[in-house]
Amino acid sequence: ESTAELTNQAEPFVTQISIQQNSITMTSLSLFVSLVLVGTLVYPGNASPEPLGKPCSELEVGDYIILRDRPTRLTEVSSTGSRVSIVGEQVFTGERAEDTCPADHRYYRPEMVENEYQVIDYEGGMLDLMDDDGETFNLMVDRPVDANILEEIQEAVSSGDGDVYVTVLERQADGQQRPVSFRVEE
């Protein structure tokens, strides 16, 4: 729908806001209209909203949060009074991310799932995988953050010392996947 149609649908709400504040930017109006009409938070990347996690004061190393619009695994958590400092690695880029927040602040919590698959083959950034039901699929892996693990997987597959199993981390909201570990079963 166009902005004009949304504005017409939200006209009673716009009047209410205009009374409360003398000026309102179009961005704020658009966000407000989206919140009122959709009834949910607008989330980056057109993904569905993910649930709010626990308060920052309860965060622990290894927890996943959305930090700077990306799923991040926490590597350091420290608190000073009512402030909490967090440091993490963004799951799909490997970049370091950090923030300081009030102890009662809550970040979105990405729904992350780990699954293990048998590696059938690996060639040119493409993992051929098989699940427990015998279904096969391809996983394109071309992120620089995955370079080291891919070299190790390729060596394990090439050596033929046993079956290679890879653990894949998947974000439920958008289906992004990344291999995070592997093992060889003789």
Q: Per residue of the chain (186 residues), give pLDDT as tens.
A: 444 444 444 444 443 443 334 444 444 444 443 333 333 333 444 444 678 899 999 999 999 999 999 999 999 999 998 999 999 999 998 999 999 999 999 999 999 999 999 999 988 788 999 999 999 999 988 787 788 888 899 899 989 899 999 999 999 988 999 999 999 998
Q: Which two tokens stand for residue 141?
A: 């892996």
Q: In what order do the strands lie in the sheet with 64-67?
A: 64-67, 70-80, 83-90, 96-102
Query: How far apart are alpha carbons 186 and 177 in whole angstroms?
Result: 26
Query: How far apart are alpha carbons 108 and 69 in whole angstroms?
Result: 9
- What residues are paired with 167 via a beta bridge? 116, 181
**Positive or negative torsion for Cα 99, 103, 109, 114:** positive
